[in-house]
Amino acid sequence: MALIGILGGMGPLATVDFMAKVVQLTDASCDQQHLPMLVANLPHIPDRSRAILGDGEDCLGPLLEGIDLLNRNGVGLIAIPCNSAHHWYAQIAARSAAPVLHIAEACVAAVPASARRVAVLGTGGTLKSGFYQAALSARDIEPLVPGADLQQSIATCIREVKAGALEQAAGHLSTVLGALAAQDVRAAVMACTEIPVAARHLSNPPLTLIDSSLELARATVTFAVARGWNRPQ
């Protein structure tokens, strides 16, 4: 069916940001040329990062309930604008009748070929899971995991976006990027979908940022437009 499924709410503002990117990337001059989506915005799915770190409730069950809801409604593709949730990508993809895009694959594919060393900005859970480091290494790019102090500022930035405190979040992100630039890091993947929401409030980041949410949106639009979902029958 010509319907994009989005499993969102992780967090809600990141889902809105992702949807805005899908809409803006679609070449359309009227409503009817846009892409149909069914968005399950389910913010009560327990914290993914804490679950990965062994300090939280199970979230695979609730994630699969969301996947089931989307499949029951006949979506033809699923995108999940939450990086940490991709820790369970294999189980999610196995459960879903519709294909599920992988956010880290889309994101890492967009890292410039010239990059030799790229920082990974994500939740503690995403970093522990290691799928970004693996995807970068597979492209012969050295993944740089921020030190504990910087990671604390990244976690604060993410938490602030989830609480709607965008200016404060941008301030923490700015501190992190300044410190990375001082370590001669030239590029970073925003491997958490809250971070680009904060980054919008920065005027001139001191290093190249690759946006996992934007790259997932591009992959989503490419998939759907190739199948004509923007122009039914």
Query: Is residue 35 at the binding interface for a copy of itself, with CB under 8 A as the rule?
Result: yes
Query: Is residue 221 at the binding interface for a copy of itself, with CB under 8 A as the rule?
Result: no
Sole binder of a copy of itself in the list 55, 65, 73, 109 (CB under 8 A): 73
CB 193 within 8 A of CB 161: no
Sole binder of a copy of itself in the list 97, 134, 138, 163 (CB under 8 A): 163
Query: Is residue 154 at the binding interface for a copy of itself, with CB under 8 A as the rule?
Result: no
Tokens 């900005």 found at:
121
Sole binder of a copy of itself in the list 86, 87, 162, 218 (CB under 8 A): 162
Determine the Cα–Cα distance for residues 25 and 106; give it in Å rounded to an integer: 15
Determine the Cα–Cα distance for residues 83 and 6; give it in Å rounded to an integer: 13
Query: Is residue 225 at the binding interface for a copy of itself, with CB under 8 A as the rule?
Result: no
CB 3 within 8 A of CB 228: no
Sole binder of a copy of itself in the list 1, 36, 93, 110 (CB under 8 A): 36
Tally of CB atoms within 10 A around 110: 15
Query: Is residue 76 at the binding interface for a copy of itself, with CB under 8 A as the rule?
Result: no
In the complex with a copy of itself, the residue whose CB is nearer, 115 or 225, is 225
Tokens 């001059």 found at:
29
Tally of CB atoms within 10 A around 126: 27
CB 48 within 8 A of CB 73: no
The interface with a copy of itself within residues 14-33 (CB under 8 A) comprises 15-16, 19-20, 23-24, 26, 28-33
The interface with a copy of itself within residues 181-220 (CB under 8 A) comprises none
**Local structure of 130: helix, strand or coil:** coil
**Local structure of 56: helix, strand or coil:** coil
The interface with a copy of itself within residues 78-137 (CB under 8 A) comprises none
Q: Binding residues for a copy of itself, per CB under 8 A?
A: 9-13, 15-16, 19-20, 23-24, 26, 28-47, 69, 72-73, 159, 162-164, 232
